Amino acid sequence: MLTLTYEYQIKPNRQQEEQMFFYLETCRKVYNYALAERKAWINSRSCAINSCSIRHEYIMRADAPKPSYHWQCKSLAAAKKDIPELALPHTHVLQQALRTLEASFVAMWERGHGFPRFKKPGRMRSFLFPQMGVNPVQENRLKLPKIGSVKMRLSRPIPDGFELKQVRIVKKASGWFAMLCLQCDVSIPSAMPHGHSLGIDLGLLSFLATSDNETIARPKFFVDAQRKLKLLQKKVSSKLIGSSNWRKAQNKVARFHEHISNTRKDFHFKTAHHLCNQAGMIFAEDLNLKAMSRGMLCKHTLDAGFGQFLNILEWVCSKRDVFFAKVDANFTSQTCPSCRTHTGKKDLSERVHSCPHCGYKTDRDVAAAQIVMIRGIVAVGHTVLKLSEGKDISLPMKKESPSF
Ligand SMILES: [Zn+2]
């Protein structure tokens, strides 16, 4: 089963646009109500053991059921009778808002994300049609349930043999977009490990380093962009909140954010293709992104968008028939790629890896990338064969063939 997501710009007419804004707002209200319901239940179940709270107490029957996704869907259906507003959008669309909430609770329980928060007006930016009618795409028009036929810019054709499963409507600063989720029943075999191997190390000073001694710099654009962003934000704060000038200034900030994220994505795709040009298998560190973005370097890490890059790289690799795997990232910068001794912690300012045992000397990030590559090759079981040939692991700047 292969799933693709294609993004197209759509041009709703005025009435359709109003309808879409109304959908977003209703989804937001449903989301917030359901969140409040869950919050109240959780608070009513957690109280201090030895004291009674003085200010307030959540009173809820002892047998009140825990609000789950299915339970909330049922009460949503019941609420429709009393609140006619809820009957206007498609039922599935509202249920998806509840599903999003469920997903954010699961993310909190299982992956340690934060407690879900209420959404302010305008913060709900997309809604999802989980099911589509027959032949929803017809010549530059997309047929949406209850909204009707919307004009769409078919910037690229929908590939043959794919079926349209879901549509997510997204409101961005530059307009409305439809993300079409396309599915194909044919399963495509994943690439086998083959060819030249490449390890990559994602860093902060340079965007990434490869085991072939190449470093790719972080584009300067993002540094300049930060400056421009600050300027635009300053303009917003000088305007009267709520005035039309304030709204215009805010829209400019939002558009610029969108521009930055598009540019970043473009850079990630180009870098991924550049790497795929060189190798038959690519190994990357399995980063603990959460731990990384919490530290001092938080802002820079997030800006570099490592998580997005790894996802894009994985996707490009699968398209280009390049094997991709993640390996353990522990101590990559503390091990010598040549003799594999533990060289101890390096300070971030220390840019060169210089091994006290074997004298191997190279760029610090390149050394880490080489460790990643070695680990990857060991993991796919290519070790002995490739090493005896002495071709695939060619450590630069080292004459005798490595022994491990
Ligand atoms: Zn060494």
Q: Which of 143, 145, 16 is nearest to 93 (CA)?
A: 145
In sequence order, what are the residues at sequence separation of 6 or more whose Cβ sits closer than 8 angstroms to the Cβ of residue 255?
A: 173, 174
Cα-based angle 346, 350, 351 (whole degrees, multiple of 5): 120
Q: Give start and end residues of each alpha helix (H) in 83-189.
A: 91-111
- How close is the Cα of 389 to the center of ligand 1, in Å? 22
- Position 352 pLDDT exceeds 50: yes
- How close is the Cα of 338 to the center of ligand 1, in Å? 5
- How close is the Cα of 286 to the center of ligand 1, in Å? 24
- How close is the Cα of 397 to the center of ligand 1, in Å? 12
- How close is the Cα of 366 to the center of ligand 1, in Å? 14
pTM score: 0.75
- Give residue limits of the domains in the chain: 2-184, 197-389
For the chain, give the mean pLDDT. Answer: 83
- How close is the Cα of 177 to the center of ligand 1, in Å? 53
- How close is the Cα of 368 to the center of ligand 1, in Å? 13
> DSSP state, 319?
H
Alpha-carbon separation of residue 335 from 26, 38, 218, 384 (angstroms): 55, 48, 25, 21
Q: What is the mean pLDDT of residues 320-341?
A: 84
* Residue 326 three-state SS: strand
- Position 230 pLDDT exceeds 50: yes
- How close is the Cα of 340 to the center of ligand 1, in Å? 6
- How close is the Cα of 343 to the center of ligand 1, in Å? 8
Q: Give start and end residues of each alpha helix (H) in 121-243.
A: 221-237
In sequence order, what are the residues at sequence separation of 6 or more whose Cβ sits closer than 8 angstroms to the Cβ of residue 284?
A: 199, 200, 202, 310, 313, 324, 325, 326, 327, 372
116-166 residue pLDDT tens: 999 999 889 999 999 888 888 888 899 999 999 999 999 988 888 888 999
Grade residue 169 by pLDDT with cuts at 50, 70 and 90.
Answer: very high
| Whole-angstrom distance, CA of residue 355 vs CA of residue 114 | 42
Percentage of the chain surpassing pLDDT 90? 41
- Position 384 pLDDT exceeds 60: no
Q: How many residues are there in the chain?
A: 404
- How close is the Cα of 291 to the center of ligand 1, in Å? 29
- How close is the Cα of 398 to the center of ligand 1, in Å? 11
- How close is the Cα of 288 to the center of ligand 1, in Å? 26
* Residue 380 three-state SS: coil
Grade residue 109 by pLDDT with cuts at 50, 70 and 90.
Answer: confident
